[in-house]
């Protein structure tokens, strides 16, 4: 029968057989290797994301442990406790300063062996606190500290809150002296948010249990996971393990991870179906594309089988050159039939391919740049705070007050810059930020300049655009007092006039000419920061948030100084 068929039919049938076999083979290879590998990678990625919960929790608990250790060895605290008379406010101040830079700590308390109490929060019932201390000490007290289960802090006078507690003895092993105990209340809601954040991003069920199998935290909070502990008791312990099991009648991967410094175990439950949901969708899409490819290929086979002539040979030769990387071999089109259209399509494909290759190269460069920027953005501000706080404690421990004060100013400066309050803040906050900056610069420049801040009480709670004073003050120091042989003075003041708020920054520095002031107004480089932020940039931000009638006004005289007046609406929200 095939002997009497036309060449076109023979080519069409043979081409269809080839397409079907080839597509089937490629599909089988893709499924048996790529799809299975994709499943494994998806599971590994899910579990890696899950482990971030463990690492974040351990980082937090380690910070609590280190804080308690530093306090228990603080010579000033030990000396005050040893006096044995009354409650020294210096210890209360130290405890308050400690929690001011660690937002996850709700309170720190020290109870001496003779019953005296020091605390970071005045609203504490001392008697209830000591009763709670005796209860915890009786059950689980250890010299190197223990983390207790979550409970409601009934010793808070104003309100009761759910906290986790860390307890550590204050003990002098050299002289065999038991000074008492230090208690740190950890914000339970902070830990819940810490654990829940990653769980929301990567759907999973979590249960945090202690060594007795008692649940400290579950996610989601409305699901009981006790049956998991009953069905898989080996999950609780000091060793991590992975179990492929069934939870709520769903195949699941169950991971247990012991938490350092505690007898806690973090158990994550991941539904296998949800993990592989994306890969199943991808498989379905792959099948649809395969069938679409088959349909398109068969249609193309029908048209390609019309003629085998020189145009086909030329097209074949051109395709071989393209395969070797030569994208400058257009096919000469001699007709408007199917082969002619195919030739035109081939030429168009080369142009598009060249375009997409160039576009893809640019996209790769941009993607690499974005990955680097994302990596830079992953520095955790809390890590910076804790690191600087450790430096501050070392300075305090060694009685180096200048470094302690300077680091505290840097912490406050970073806290203000990293805060997410938006672009509009209280004038008091903006002024305090500048005062922290001036404190740092005084240590750098010594007595080169003085600063006077005159902010009336009625203006302190008015709103201003964030981060507009520090760049102006920096210009006063770096440009106004550069090569300045007199005592510098910076004066920051504010006043209300009708419905306007005026903030004035003036100095007695070198001053500027009209040309210099004009050049200063033109500088607006987005790549420059701090002292190089342009005055025009500040002026444009004020106009953006407040309106075109607001902004900066600069007055300066050479040899007399410069005055910058900021005009803002008094009712800025």
How far is 395 from 98, CA to CA, in rounded Å? 14
Closest by CA position to 415, among listed 400, 436, 394: 436
- Listed in sequence order, the DSSP H helices in 143-258 are 188-201, 226-231
Instruction: Render pLDDT for 44-60 as a digit per residue (tens, 0 to 9).
Output: 776 777 678 888 888 98
How far is 318 from 69, CA to CA, in rounded Å? 75
SS3 (DSSP) at 326: coil
Query: Which residue(s) pair with 496 in the sheet?
Result: 501
Q: What is the pLDDT of residue 420?
A: 59
Which H/E stretch holds residue 571? none
Cβ 98 vs Cβ 136: under 8 Å = no
Q: Once rounded to an integer, what is the mean pLDDT over residues 513-538?
A: 64
CATH assignment, 419-569:
3.30.565.10
SS3 (DSSP) at 508: coil
**From 14-23, 38-47, 203-212, the region with the lowest mean pLDDT:** 38-47
Q: Tokens for 78, please give them.
A: 């030990």
The class that CATH gives domain 73-189 is alpha beta
pLDDT-derived band at 251 (thresholds 50, 70, 90) equals confident
SS3 (DSSP) at 105: strand
Helix, strand counts (H, E) of the chain: 17, 17
How far is 90 from 127, CA to CA, in rounded Å? 21
Cβ 13 vs Cβ 305: under 8 Å = no
* pTM beyond 0.75, yes or no: no
The position carrying tokens 């890696």 is 48
**From 3-7, 13-17, 556-560, the region with the lowest mean pLDDT:** 3-7
How far is 58 from 540, CA to CA, in rounded Å? 45
Query: Which residue(s) pair with 166 in the sheet?
Result: 147, 184
Query: Which residue(s) pair with 511 in the sheet?
Result: none
Q: How is the chain split into domains, by residue range?
A: 73-189, 419-569
How far is 103 from 190, CA to CA, in rounded Å? 9
Per-position b or e across 347-373, b if 16+ CB within 10 A of its CB: beebeeeeeeeeeeeeeeeeeeeeeee
User: Over pLDDT 70: what percentage of the chain?
Assistant: 74
Same fold for the pair 73-189 and 419-569: no
Cβ 466 vs Cβ 430: under 8 Å = yes
Closest by CA position to 91, among listed 77, 101, 72, 102: 77
Instruction: Render pLDDT for 392-434 as a digit per residue (tens, 0 to 9).
Output: 777 776 777 777 777 887 887 777 776 656 788 999 999 999 9
Q: What is the pLDDT of residue 504?
A: 96
Which range among 26-35, 195-204, 443-452, 495-504 has the greatest average pLDDT? 495-504
State in Å, rounded, how far the first CA of the chain is from the last one: 87
75 versus 219: the higher-pLDDT residue is: 75
SS3 (DSSP) at 456: coil
Q: What is the pLDDT of residue 373?
A: 45
Cβ 150 vs Cβ 217: under 8 Å = yes
pLDDT-derived band at 201 (thresholds 50, 70, 90) equals low
């Amino acid at each position: 029968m095939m002997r009497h068929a036309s060449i076109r039919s023979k080519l069409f049938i043979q081409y269809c057989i080839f397409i079907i076999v080839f597509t089937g083979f490629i599909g089988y290879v893709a499924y048996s290797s790529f799809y299975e590998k994709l499943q494994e990678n998806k599971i590994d990625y899910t579990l890696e994301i899950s482990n971030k919960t463990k690492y974040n929790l351990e980082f937090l608990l380690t910070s609590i442990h280190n804080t308690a250790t530093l306090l228990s060895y603080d010579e000033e605290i030990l000396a005050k406790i040893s006096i044995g008379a009354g409650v020294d406010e210096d210890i209360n101040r130290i405890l308050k300063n400690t929690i001011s830079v660690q937002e996850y700590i709700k309170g720190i308390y020290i109870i001496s062996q003779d019953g005296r109490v020091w605390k970071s929060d005045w609203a504490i019932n001392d008697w209830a606190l000591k009763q709670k201390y005796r209860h915890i000490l009786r059950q689980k007290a250890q010299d190197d500290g223990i983390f207790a289960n979550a409970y409601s802090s009934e010793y808070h006078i104003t309100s009761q809150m759910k906290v986790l507690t860390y307890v550590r003895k204050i003990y002098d092993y050299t002289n065999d002296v038991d000074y008492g105990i230090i208690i740190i209340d950890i914000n339970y809601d902070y830990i819940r948010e810490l654990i829940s954040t990653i769980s929301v991003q990567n759907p999973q069920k979590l249960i945090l249990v202690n060594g007795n199998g008692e649940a400290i935290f579950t996610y989601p909070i409305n699901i009981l996971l006790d049956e998991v502990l009953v069905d898989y008791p080996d999950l609780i312990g000091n060793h991590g393990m992975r179990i492929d099991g069934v939870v709520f009648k769903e195949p699941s991967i169950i991971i247990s991870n012991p938490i350092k410094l505690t007898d806690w175990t973090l158990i994550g439950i991941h539904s296998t179906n949800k993990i592989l949901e994306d890969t199943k969708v991808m498989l379905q899409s792959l099948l649809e594309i395969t069938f679409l490819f088959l349909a398109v290929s068969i249609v193309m086979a029908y048209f390609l089988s019309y003629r085998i002539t020189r145009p086909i040979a030329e097209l074949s030769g051109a395709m071989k050159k393209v395969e070797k990387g030569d994208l400058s071999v257009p096919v000469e089109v001699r007709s408007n039939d199917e082969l002619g259209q195919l030739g035109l399509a081939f030429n168009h494909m080369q142009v598009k391919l060249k375009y997409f290759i160039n576009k893809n190269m640019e996209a790769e460069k941009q993607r690499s740049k974005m990955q680097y920027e994302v990596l830079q953005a992953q520095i955790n501000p809390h890590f910076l705070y804790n690191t600087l706080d450790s430096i501050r404690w070392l300075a305090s421990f060694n009685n180096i007050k200048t470094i302690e004060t300077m680091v505290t100013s840097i912490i406050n400066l970073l806290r203000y810059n990293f805060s997410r309050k938006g672009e509009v803040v209280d004038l008091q906050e903006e002024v305090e930020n500048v005062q922290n900056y001036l404190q740092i610069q005084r240590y750098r420049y010594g007595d080169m300049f003085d600063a006077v801040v005159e902010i009336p009480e009625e203006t302190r709670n008015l709103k201003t655009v964030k981060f507009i004073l520090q760049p102006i003050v920096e210009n006063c120091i770096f440009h106004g007092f550069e090569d300045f042989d007199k005592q510098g003075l910076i004066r920051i003041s504010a006043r209300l006039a009708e419905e306007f708020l005026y903030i004035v920054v003036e100095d007695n520095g070198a001053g500027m000419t009209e040309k210099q002031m004009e050049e200063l107004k033109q500088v607006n480089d987005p790549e420059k920061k701090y002292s190089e932020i342009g005055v025009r940039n500040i002026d444009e931000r004020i106009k953006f948030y407040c309106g075109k009638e607001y902004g900066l006004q600069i007055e300066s005289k050479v040899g007399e100084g410069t005055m910058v007046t900021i005009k803002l609406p008094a009712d800025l929200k």
